[in-house]
Amino acid sequence: MTPAILLKIKGKMGGQTARKFRQGLSSPQKGVESMKKYSDLEFLRLSKWQKFVYKFLSFFVAIPKAILNFFVGIGKGIAKFFAGIGRELADVVTTFVKGDWKTKVSYVIMGFGSIARGQVLRGLMFLLFEVVFIVYMITTGGYWLSMLPSLGHQGRETIVETVTKFGRTTEIETFQYHDNSFKILLYGVLTIFFIVAFIYTWRVNIKQNKTAEKILKSGKKLKSGKDDLRSLVDDNFHRTLLALPLTGILVFTVMPLFFMILVAFTNYDYQHDGLINLFSWNGLNGFKQMLTWSSGGVNYSAAFGEILTWTLIWAFFATFTNYFLGMFVAMMINKKGIRLKKLWRTILILTIAIPQFISLLYVSKMFSDNGLINLALLDMGWITKPIGFWSDPANGAILSKIMVIIINIWIGIPYLMLVATGILMNIPADLYESAKIDGASGWKQFSKITLPYMLFITGPYLLTQFTGNMNNFNVIYLLTGGAPTNAKLSGASAVGHTDLLITWLFKMINGTEPKYYLASVVGILVFIVVAVISLVVYGILPSVKNEEDFQ
């Protein structure tokens, strides 16, 4: 903010108010706190420009605090986690010391206490799980766990045999495969999860014994096997229903995610495929290679910074252009006096009905060097040579980036139109009637009624759209494939000017020289960026902070 603006604010707002603005500029944290002290009357006295500056400044100076709260929350979560482990360990020791002999035996033989107290079905389930775990660890689990630190000792071995037949000597090569790094890592992760599941089940077994002792001491009767089965379809039916989905999430989401994170700490690439040539642990070298600036060779740090910048720019424009234009289209169609409303909505929805795979590839061909658009412009004499919509790298391929954003508007407006239509229909009509009586213009009605209501309702949706656009693989890959190629970063897995982080990751694992560990590093960094943005913005959304305003 320039000194002239500060003087203008000081003149209209008074010295005390201006001092609060200066405090906000010099110290963001103090500025936020001072701005929060404005009363409603003080805020209403501000001019439009001052209100805008105040809100704008409040938003941005709140970001450092939100980021700080994010990391403080992580620290508190870690502290609570270890504190919880400490409480659990203390309870395990206390239960063993104060428990009866049946409980003590259950520390070694799971389910023994339940069986001895008449809860046979429950006890057999615990015992069966323990038997399966011990058998697995003895037969295969122990082997995979022991190989996990090295990820294998010997890969493919070439054996040359000399064979003499009919007086002719020939050499025959055969291959013998030994360790498989990929399989060792996969089954090692599976074994770790199985061990964690066993520890959790063992802890539940101890709690069951402690609870059973308390119930018997109080003179009550324990539940029988029939009572347990009845409970699964009655009182605890929600747990029965959630058991299968939670297992699926664990097996098909959590475990692969954990596996992918571990790959980032190896040297798994085309030279170390894990079968012919084993890969091994590589520590933080993958992150160092991705984030350290290098003057010679392939500069992955420069590529990551440039692609991340474009990814954030793309996500911003792809989100807000669709949002506001979709809202305006919905308002135009819903406006009184507009005929054939169903027809206009149907025409827009047709773009949703056509699969993006078809429409985006078709549009990509239309704007290619030999496409329909260039041919038509050449025939009309408007251009002398084809326009490189997807092939011209001049000025950072600004034309390609603009075209991608414009075409995404064509794809995204129908979705937002449908969402906005439903919300606009639920805004009370008497609000607009009152505004008209008070002489409010159309813009005033939009800025004071429609937009605040829309932002409040769709705030979380906007956030998910922004994070979704950061990982919008379809639009970029099907339209441009990342083109035009960025010559400065061509060594970093054929980086293109329109590549997002997600398409760059895809190229890393599908190129001629795939680097799986670097792709995993990029995946982790994308997750960190998206998580930080999501948590920071979510914490300052009106939908979260001022929920009572629209109750």
Domain boundary among 283, 317, 337: 283
What pLDDT does 452 receive?
86
| C-alpha count within 13 angstroms, C-beta hemisphere, residue 241 | 6
More confident residue, 229 or 94: 94
CB 111 within 8 A of CB 225: no
- Global pTM value: 0.79
Do residues 144 and 232 both lie within one domain?
yes
Please report whether residue 131 resides in a domain: yes
Least confident of 38-47, 106-115, 117-126, 312-321: 38-47
Give the mean pLDDT of 127-144: 96
Does residue 11 carry a pLDDT above 50?
A: no
Structure confidence at residue 74 as a pLDDT band (50, 70, 90): confident
Range of the domain at 222: 99-283
Q: Which CATH number do you get for residue 531?
A: 1.10.3720.10
Per-residue confidence (pLDDT) for residue 241, from 0 to 100:
86
- Rounded to whole angstroms, the Cα distance separating 474 from 480 reads 10
One domain, residues 385 and 428: yes
For the chain, first and last CA: distance in Å? Answer: 36
Q: Please check whether residue 177 is in contact with residue 275, taking contact to mean a CB–CB distance below 8 angstroms.
A: yes
Residues 402 and 443 placed together within one structural domain of the fold: yes
Q: Return the exposure string of 436-445: e unless at least 16 CB atoms fall within 10 Å of the residue's CB, then b.
A: eeeebeeeeb
pLDDT-derived band of residue 286, with 50, 70 and 90 as boundaries?
very high
Q: What tokens were used for 213?
A: 């002792």
- Considering the domain architecture, whether residues 315 and 464 belong to the same structural domain is answered as yes
pLDDT the model gives residue 150: 93
256 phi and psi angles, rounded to 5 deg = -60, -35
Averaged pLDDT score across all residues of the chain: 84
CA distance 507 to 335: 47
pLDDT of residue 300: 87
Cα Dmax for the chain: 111
Q: pLDDT-based confidence at 297, cuts 50/70/90?
A: low
Q: Which residues contact 211 (CB under 8 A, 6 or more apart)?
A: none
CB 136 within 8 A of CB 194: yes
Q: Kindly state whether residues 214 and 342 are assigned to the same domain.
A: no
pLDDT mean over 475-499: 84
Q: Tokens 């996969």 sit at which residue?
A: 186
Task: Please tell me whether residue 307 adopts helix, strand or coil conformation.
Answer: helix
Is residue 270 over pLDDT 50? yes
Mean pLDDT of the 282-289 span: 92
Reported as a pLDDT band with limits 50, 70 and 90, residue 267 is very high
Residues 532 and 421 in one domain: yes
pLDDT tens across 407-438, in order?
A: 999 888 988 998 898 888 888 888 888 988 98
**pLDDT(26) > 60:** no
Surface-to-core class of residue 343, CB atoms within 10 Å of its CB (0-12 exposed, 13-18 middle, 19+ buried):
exposed
Tokens of 246: 């939670």
Q: Span 6-20, mean pLDDT?
A: 42
Give the residue among 447, 450, 446 at the shortest CA–CA distance from 425: 450
Beta carbons of 34 and 50 less than 8 angstroms apart: no
Domain boundary among 223, 254, 283: 283
pLDDT tens digits, 141-173? 999 999 999 999 998 888 888 777 776 777 788
Q: In the predicted model, what is the mean pLDDT of residues 122-128?
A: 94
In a domain, 70, yes or no: no
Q: Is the pLDDT of residue 514 over 50?
A: yes
Closest CA to 208 of 266, 140, 129: 129
Domain termination site, one of 252, 283, 314: 283
The verdict on 232 and 317 lying in the same domain is no
Q: Are 193 and 79 in contact (CB under 8 A)?
A: no
Clarify whether residues 448 and 317 are in a common domain: yes
* Residue 21 clears pLDDT 80, i.e. is over it: no
pLDDT for the residue numbered 141: 95
Is residue 521 a contact partner of residue 492, using CB atoms and an 8 Å limit? no
Reply yes or no on whether the pLDDT at 17 is more than 60: no
Q: Are 277 and 375 contained in the same domain?
A: no
For the segment 92-118, what is each residue's pLDDT rounded down to a tens digit? Answer: 999 999 999 999 999 999 999 999 998
Q: What pLDDT does residue 229 have?
A: 84
538 and 398 within one domain:
yes
Q: What pLDDT does 244 receive?
A: 87
Taking residues 55-75, what's their average pLDDT?
77
Q: Over pLDDT 70: what percentage of the chain?
A: 89
Parallel, antiparallel or unpaired: strands 168-177 and 156-165 = antiparallel
Residue 351 shares a structural domain with residue 439: yes
260 and 383 share one domain: no
- Residue 420 maps to a domain: yes
pLDDT at 33: 44
Q: Can you give the pLDDT at residue 24?
A: 42
Instruction: Please list the residues that pair with 158 across neighbouring strands.
Output: 175
